[in-house]
Structure 1
Amino acid sequence: MSRPSTGERLGHLVRRECEVARQALAASGSVHGRVHEARKAIRRARSALALVEKRLDIGSADRTLQRVGDSLSSLRDAHATVETLARVDELDGGDRWAPAMATLRAHADQVAVVVQGGDPGFAWRQRAIARATAQLAGLPWKTVKPAHLREGLGRQSARVERSVARARKSPTPENIHRWRRRARRLRMQLEAVAKLEERRLQVDAQQPKKLRRLADELGWYQDIQALMQLVRRLPDVPERAALAARLDELLGQCQVEPVSVHKLPEPPA
């Protein structure tokens, strides 16, 4: 049996990520962990889909996946503040912010109750992902060539460069967030292409690692900001003023430098 084409392998990878997301929502265990895994798988699927946005009609399936991911953002964001405060607490020696953490954990659990109340067992979200997967299975993946993926990587590289320039000129939370999202998508695309094991698409193994470090640094900056906003919004957080001051101090220590984004070599003659 002949090896599937590059496009067919990419299509299989995308559908596999969709199934990972669906299974995460269907599983038992911590709702926060399941939602986090589902959102990551959806991001990986959508990042790979963006590589072929000019070649295949991915619009409907991609929008469905985006809606599912966005619908889980409030739950994930609430729990992410707990994780961020846990990291701050570790930096400060442990137990310093335990009472505040208990309050944030209760808030995250309440958000989970509300989200699941509107969709018991995440049933409609699972069905939506299954519909998107079926749509993607019907696309002509065989028509996708390595050159098309190279073009997709080039588009995303240009988007990252533009976001870097914008963030340097005006480092607003929105611009920093855009920079992080675009860098993360490029990293996921590079990782997806590497999995295809296509000799005409050589990927520098160090580049995804650099982009991951960058995204982690930008994420820490954003996580502190999000935590600060929540602390200021929730009136019952213990030691609000002291915690807000500490977070402000950590923000001032954040220094993020851009990295050069990946440029694929020319294909062999």
Structure 2
Amino acid sequence: MVKAAMGTSAETSSIAVDRKVVAMPVLPMPSPGPDLRDYALSELDAALDALGQPGDEIHEGIHRARKGLRRVRAALALGDGILGPGVALLDREIKHLNTGLSGLRDAHALVETLERLRKRSRKGETRQLLDQAGADAVVARMAITEVELSMDPGLGQRRGLIEVLAAAVPALDWARLTPSAARMALADSDDRSQNARDIALRKGRDSDWHRWRRRARRASQQRRALEAAGVSVPATEPDVFDKRTTERLGEAQDLTLLLDHCGKGSPFSKEDRRALRAYAEPALARLRKRISTVRR
């Protein structure tokens, strides 16, 4: 009888402990908002520093600054509709600032693009053509830089605007952002990237390819931001946007950029424009065909 009583007591105690465990409230996951805010501020700070680079380093600084500003916009988009009404205004101002730097960046990007294309080219005649185009692009870059810096010495106005934007970031309602909401926003970006991919491969228009690249970049930047904020996120599917596809898209972007500069306002002569188009158009078509045949 004593043994039976002891067994009953142990079972009752175990049940009581189990009930306490069940009754314990499930605490919500901490908001990634504050860490995401700090990430955005660090990117703005890096952009501010990049725009302060002296001499010829200004071109690479502009490239880094624009990349940082895009990352900030990607982070803000993770909390669209959650961070408060100020996020739309902040995003619009950052976009405007980035667009204002695009002229300087495009001029330098063309120089870099021609250098990469020359290294990949095996034909002597093509290399000679790209050499001449590269020299013309350097002259055009110098002219654009001189004009821009005369209107905004040392890019001081742009740097001042970044400081203003950075002061506005902490005022957003970062604490409202939950891990699940952030993951849902990333999933939406992945879906938009996938849809843009399907359209680009089906229709093949320049605007469709550009949209795919832009949306894939946004999803990648948001994944980077969430990882920096300590939020675990699923990896991208390797057959959708693998390393080789990324490289080919980059090569295709080089050719597209070159073709964009063979039209109105081109720094190249009429004869060189014709030759550059004859080189770039079939090369771009071949690249896009290879990208289209990637297994899905």
2:42 pairs, out of 16, 25, 31, with: 16
Residue number in structure 1 paired with 2:185: 152
2:262 pairs, out of 231, 241, 250, with: 231
SS of residue matched to 2:220: helix
| Structure of larger gyration radius | 2
Distance 1:185 1:258, change over 3 A: farther
The AA in structure 2 aligned to 1:6 is: P
Give the number of equivalent residue pairs. Answer: 255
Residue number in structure 2 paired with 1:51: 78
Shift of residue 133, structure 1, vs aligned partner? 1.1
Residue number in structure 2 paired with 1:118: 151
Residue number in structure 2 paired with 1:28: 54
Residue number in structure 2 paired with 1:191: 224
The AA in structure 1 aligned to 2:287 is: C
- 1:100-115 alignment, distance < 5 Å: 100-115=133-148
CA distance in 1: counterparts of 2:295 and 2:168, whole angstroms: 36
TM-score, with length taken from structure 2: 0.77
CA distance in 1: counterparts of 2:32 and 2:242, whole angstroms: 24
Distance 1:126 1:213, change over 3 A: farther
The AA in structure 2 aligned to 1:38 is: A
The AA in structure 1 aligned to 2:136 is: T
The AA in structure 2 aligned to 1:80 is: A
1:88 pairs, out of 95, 108, 117, with: 117
- 1:157-196 alignment, distance < 5 Å: 157-196=190-229
Deviations 1:18-53 (A, max 9, x none): 111111112224221011010010111111111111
CA RMSD, Structure 1 to Structure 2 (Å): 2.6
Shift of residue 182, structure 1, vs aligned partner? 0.3
Shift of residue 153, structure 1, vs aligned partner? 0.6
CA contact (8 A) 1:187 1:211 kept: no
CA distance in 1: counterparts of 2:81 and 2:212, whole angstroms: 22
Deviations 1:177-220 (A, max 9, x none): 1111000000111111112223xx2443886x946654543332
- Higher deviation after alignment, 50-59 or 217-226: 217-226
Shift of residue 92, structure 1, vs aligned partner? 2.0
- 1:234-245 alignment, distance < 5 Å: 234-236=267-269, 239-245=272-278
TM-score, with length taken from structure 1: 0.85
CA contact (8 A) 2:52 2:58 kept: no
SS of residue matched to 1:231: coil
CA contact (8 A) 1:20 1:41 kept: yes
Matched, 1:40 2:67: yes
Residue number in structure 1 paired with 2:3: none
The AA in structure 2 aligned to 1:195 is: A
2:92 pairs, out of 56, 63, 81, with: 63
Distance 1:260 1:121, change over 3 A: farther
The AA in structure 2 aligned to 1:25 is: L
The AA in structure 2 aligned to 1:164 is: R
Shift of residue 70, structure 1, vs aligned partner? 0.5
> Identity rate of aligned residues, in percent?
30
CA contact (8 A) 1:187 1:212 kept: no
SS of residue matched to 1:53: coil
Matched, 1:218 2:245: no
Distance 1:150 1:258, change over 3 A: farther
The AA in structure 1 aligned to 2:63 is: H
Residue number in structure 1 paired with 2:33: 7
Deviations 1:122-173 (A, max 9, x none): 1121121111111111122122110111111122122112212322332211
CA contact (8 A) 1:103 1:237 kept: no
Distance 1:152 1:236, change over 3 A: same
